[in-house]
Structure 1
C-alpha cells in the first residue's frame, strides 16, 4: 500500500497579495505574446507515471517523468484553464511537481490552492501541495490564446497568526585565556649574526607566531635556549602546526632556514617537516627537508629556499602524524652562503616531566592529506571560529537601518579588519548574525556519529540530545581506482554528472527532504533534524540540511577503506536545493568547493537588492514572499519580511557567500529566470568577491550568469567554469583558470549604492 506522507498546507494573506500582484504583472504583458511556452519541472517515484498538460480541457502534451527532477517544455496557442494532470495512479506511483513556468513566469506547485490529486486523509482533499498522490491535477490559472496566465481567483482563508517569540540571544562566553601568559624572559639566547627573525625564540611572547588552523601556546616545559619555546599541543590534522610570518624577503635571493624541534613527552620519535609558503597570488608551497624528532632531545631542521617575486612569506612546522604534539625554538633565517653558524647555547637542564593536561586526540580513520600546491588548503574543522568571542546579537528593536549592503570588513565592535588572521573571528560574527536573524542556529554538535561507507551508499547514525536518527545517501562512483573526490548534491545534482565522473569525481546524492521538510509553510519543524532538536528549534530547513551533510562528512572522515576522499568535498544544488547548497558550504569549512545553481531568494540573492528590484517593477521573489512559501529560513526572518524592514538586517547574503572564503565558490545563475532576481544575485556575488580579493585570493571565487535555457537545465556554456573549479579545488590542478565574473544580463552593479565601502588588503 502506498504511504501517504505529504499533507496539505495552508497559505494566508501573503498568497492573495502575491496572486493579485502576479495577475497585474502578467496582464500587462499578455498582448505582446504570440504563443504560450510552458516548462514543467517534475519527477516520478517509479518512473512510469503518466502526466499531461491541458489547456482549456484539451491535452497539449503527455510525458513520462523519470525518477530524478527534470524539466519538460512545450508550446500552445490554446486558451483556457491550465492544469497538470496525473492519470495512471497505481501502487507506488506518485508525481512531485516543482513548478510550471508559463512564458518565463514560474508558478510553484505548492502555491496553488487547486490540487485534486493531493492527499489529506483521502484523495482529492489536499491543496497547496507539490505532490500528486492520486489521479488528479493541479490548476495553474488560465491563459488566453497567445497570452500570459491569469491565475484563477480563489478565496484563501487567513489563518490565525501564530505568535513567534523572538528567542533570547544565545550567550557566547568569552573564551578563557590560555594558562600561559606572556612572562618576562629570564635569560636571553645567544643572538645569531644576520638573523632576519626578531622573535625566533619566542622571548617576546607569541609575536609573529601563530597556529595553522589550530591553537598554540607559549611554553616553559621544554626550552632549548632562553626561557620559552612554542608548543603545538592539540593538532588534529596533518596541516595543523606552528607558523611564523617572516619579514620582507628579496626577490631572487636564497635563504637558509634553521629551527629546533622536540616532541612532547611520551610521543617517542616521529617525522617533522619544514615548509615555506610564498603568498604572491598563487600561494606556492616549498617543502624543505624533514627530519625525525624525539621526546628526549632537540633536533635541528634545516633547508634553503629561493624567494619568488612579491608577496608575504610564512614558514610552517608540521607533521604528517595528525595528532603529534611538539615544541619549536630558535628559528633562524639568514642569507644563504654567509657565515651563519648555528649557536650552541648553554644546555638547559631537562626538568622532570610535568603532565600537560592535554590528552592525545583519538586519530581519525582517514587523515587529511598534505595541502595541494597552488593555493588549495583543506580545512579539517567544521567551524574554525568556534572559540571566537562574538558579541550579543541584540534585539530587533535596537537594530539600525543599513541601506547599502553591510560592510563585511567592519566587525561588530566597529573596528576594521587589518589582517588575514582577523577573518576567522569576523566570519564567526557573520555566521552568528545569519543564524540569529535569517537561517536559525546550526547546533554545535556534541553527540556521537557512527556509520559505514560502501561503493553505493553512506550510512549514518547520530545520537545527540537523548535522541537517535539514521539516514543514508547514495553514491555514483566514477570508473577507475579511488579514493575519489566527492560532489554532494543537495536533493541531487543538476550539474553534468557524467562530466564530473569523467574527471574522477564521485557524485553523492543527499536526500535533504527527510532531514528537514519543505512541503509548504505548514511543514516547519518536521524531519529527522527536528526529531533530535525539537520541532520548535530555530533552524530553517536549509540549516537542518547543512547539519545532516556535516554528520555525513563526520562518517566519511571517521571511516577508512572506502573509495571516497573525505578531504576533497564539493557541494551543489539547484533552485531550492541551491539555497541549501550555499548554506551547507558556508556553514561547514571542511567543504572545499561550493557551487550553488540558480538559488534565487534565500540563496545567493541579496535581500536589500531584491526589494529594490521589486520596487522598480521587477517580478522577483523577495523576503516578504518567501517566508510564506516554505520553512527554508528561520521564523525570525518574518519580522523583517512582514514589516518591510530588510534594511534593518545587520547582514545580507553577500556575507553568507563570504563565509565560504578562503575556500572555493562558483555561483551559477540563469538570466532567463526573472523570478530568481538576476541583478540581485549578481550584485551579491560581486560584493562577496571582495572578501576573496581582500585575502589576496580573488581567483577562488567566481560567478557566471547565462540565460537562454530552462530553470536548472545546466547549459554547456557553463561547463568550462565548473571544470576549472573542480580541477583546482577537488583535483589539485593549480594552473586551472578560475578567474570568472560575468553576466549576459542587461544590467551592471551599482557600486555607489550597494558597495560604497573600501576593500582592505588583508595579509
Structure 2
C-alpha cells in the first residue's frame, strides 16, 4: 500500500478560502469537543450551479502535449498567480472540456419545478415551449430532517446503504438513462435531455446529460422548504459508467458538496494520457462503446496528446469541494494506474487552493469484484461524509494507492504548482 499524500489529522484548518476565489459559500465554525478550539469546516457547496458564468473564455490551444496539461495556465500560456483568479481559470477549463470531451450542458431552462416527497423527488423542466418530467426515488434515514443526501447514479451499485443510514444520509436513486439513453455504438441521442434541447445539444454526450439531470434535482431540492433534505449538503456517487457520470455531475455543478466516483474507468478519473499500455479501456473504445462522450472527442480518440485538457482537470473543477475517488486495482480495464495519476495531478489544484484535505483516493483493496463495497473504504467514506455533508470534525482525506498501481506525478508533468496567494 502506498500513501502518497494527505496527512491524517483531526479538525483540518481551511482558512482564508474566499467565496469568490473558490466558488464556495461562506465558511462556518463549530466548537471542537470541549477544548474551546474552533474547527474551520470544509467549504460548503456553492448556492450556484456555475459561479464563473461571467468570465470570458478563449478557444483552447492545439499544440501536442505528451505530458499532462498545466491546469494553472490559460490557452496563451499565462499562469494564474492568485486564488481569486481560479474562478475564471476554472471557467476556461470547463468550456474547453465541453468543447473537446463532454459537449455542452445547454443553456438554463426556462423553469424547473417539482416537489420533494418522503419517497420520491418529482422534476418538471420547461424550455422553449417543450416540457420534460422525471422522478427519483428517495430513501430517508431515521430521525427528523432536514437530512444530507447522496444522489446515487444508476441505483445502489457500489454504495453501502448501511454506511449511509448510520451517518443519517438520505439516498436518492437516480435513473440516468431516462435522461440520456445508452444507445450503443450508433451514438443515437435519446432521453429527456435531448428531447428538451433538440439540436442545441445533439453532439453532447450522455455523461453530460446525466449531469444535467442531477442539476435539475438540485434545483428542486433548493426550491423546497428543506424540511426533508438540505440543499447545501448533497453528494453524488456512482460506480463504473455511473462513476463517470457522478464525476461529471460534481465537476459541472458547484452545488454538489461531495463527489464520489467509484471505479470510474476511462472517461472518469483516469487521465487519457495515462491509459496506453496499461490494459485500461482505450480512448477510442470508451468513445465508441456508448455515446458517453461528446462527438467532438472523436477527433482526439486516437490522439489524446492533442487534447488541451485531461481528466485531472475535471477533478480540478470539483475543487475545493469534497472529492473521494474509490478505485479497483484488480481489473486492468478500469485503469487504476491512470486513476491514481489523475488524483495526484488533481490534488495539486486542491493544494494550490489550500484545500488538500478535501480530496481522497483509495485503491488499496483486497476484493477484486467490480462495484463491490469494501471495508477498506469505510473510514475514508465516513470522513468524507462527516467533513462535507455533516460539516463535522473529521480527518483529512488521503491518497492511498495499491502497491501495484501507484505512479509518480513527476514523471508525467513539466509544470509546478504555483503558490497561489
What TM-score comes out, normalization by structure 2 length?
A: 0.89
User: 2-side partners of 1:604 and 1:708: how far apart?
Assistant: 21
Which of 341, 344, 347 is equivalent to 1:689?
347
Q: CA deviation at 1:239?
A: 5.2
Counterpart check, 1:662 vs 2:320: yes
Counterpart check, 1:650 vs 2:308: yes
Q: CA deviation at 1:393?
A: 3.5
Which of 265, 271, 274 is equivalent to 1:606?
271
Counterpart check, 1:376 vs 2:52: no
What TM-score comes out, normalization by structure 1 length?
A: 0.50
Higher helix share: 2
User: 2-side partners of 1:607 and 1:212: how far apart?
Assistant: 31
Counterpart check, 1:621 vs 2:281: yes
Counterpart check, 1:565 vs 2:230: yes
Q: CA deviation at 1:415?
A: 1.2
Counterpart check, 1:754 vs 2:412: yes
- Judge which range, 502-511 or 702-711, deviates more: 702-711
Match of 1:447 in 2: 110
User: 2-side partners of 1:561 and 1:600: how far apart?
Assistant: 35
Q: Contact 1:466/1:532 (CA < 8 Å) preserved in 2?
A: no
Match of 1:491 in 2: 154
Q: Contact 1:488/1:569 (CA < 8 Å) preserved in 2?
A: yes
Counterpart check, 1:482 vs 2:145: yes
- The structure with the larger Rg is 1
User: How many residues get paired?
Assistant: 395
Match of 1:145 in 2: none
Higher strand share: 1
User: 1-side partners of 2:82 and 2:376: how far apart?
Assistant: 38
Q: CA deviation at 1:747?
A: 4.1
Q: Contact 2:18/2:84 (CA < 8 Å) preserved in 1?
A: no
User: 2-side partners of 1:754 and 1:239: how far apart?
Assistant: 34
What stretches of structure 1 of length at least 5 have no aligned partner?
A: 1-209, 215-236, 241-276, 278-282, 287-307, 309-371
Alignment of 1:383-402 (within 5 A): 383-393=50-60, 399-402=62-65
Do the aligned partners of residues 747 and 389 (structure 1) sit closer, same or farther apart at CA in structure 2, a change above 3 Å counting?
same
Q: CA deviation at 1:438?
A: 0.5
Counterpart check, 1:505 vs 2:163: no
Match of 1:730 in 2: 389
SS in 1 for 2:172: strand
Q: CA deviation at 1:466?
A: 2.4
User: 1-side partners of 2:46 and 2:154: how far apart?
Assistant: 25
Do the aligned partners of residues 475 and 638 (structure 1) sit closer, same or farther apart at CA in structure 2, a change above 3 Å counting?
same
Q: CA deviation at 1:498?
A: 1.7
Match of 2:123 in 1: 460
Match of 2:4 in 1: none
Match of 2:181 in 1: 517
Q: CA deviation at 1:599?
A: 0.2
The structure, 1 or 2, with the larger RCO (C-alpha pairs under 8 Å, 6+ apart) is 2
Q: CA deviation at 1:553?
A: 0.7
RMSD: 2.2
Q: Contact 2:24/2:44 (CA < 8 Å) preserved in 1?
A: no
Q: Contact 1:604/1:657 (CA < 8 Å) preserved in 2?
A: yes
Runs of 4+ in 1 over 4 A off after TM superposition: 237-240, 283-286
SS in 2 for 1:474: strand
Q: CA deviation at 1:522?
A: 2.4
Alpha-carbon deviations, 1:488-514, whole Å to 9, x = none?
001123211121122110000111000
User: 2-side partners of 1:518 and 1:500: how far apart?
Assistant: 29
Counterpart check, 1:716 vs 2:375: yes
Which of 94, 109, 128 is equivalent to 1:431?
94
User: 2-side partners of 1:401 and 1:550: how far apart?
Assistant: 34
User: 2-side partners of 1:524 and 1:726: how far apart?
Assistant: 37
Do the aligned partners of residues 656 and 239 (structure 1) sit closer, same or farther apart at CA in structure 2, a change above 3 Å counting?
closer
Match of 1:259 in 2: none
Match of 1:630 in 2: 290
Q: CA deviation at 1:524?
A: 2.7
User: 2-side partners of 1:453 and 1:681: how far apart?
Assistant: 36
Alpha-carbon deviations, 1:690-721, whole Å to 9, x = none?
00111111001010003432000011111111
Q: Contact 1:705/1:745 (CA < 8 Å) preserved in 2?
A: no
Alignment of 1:123-522 (within 5 A): 212-213=19-20, 373-393=40-60, 399-493=62-156, 494-522=158-186
User: 1-side partners of 2:128 and 2:245: how far apart?
Assistant: 24
Do the aligned partners of residues 238 and 708 (structure 1) sit closer, same or farther apart at CA in structure 2, a change above 3 Å counting?
closer
Q: Contact 1:456/1:476 (CA < 8 Å) preserved in 2?
A: yes
Alignment of 1:38-53 (within 5 A): none
Which of 573, 580, 596 is equivalent to 2:245?
580
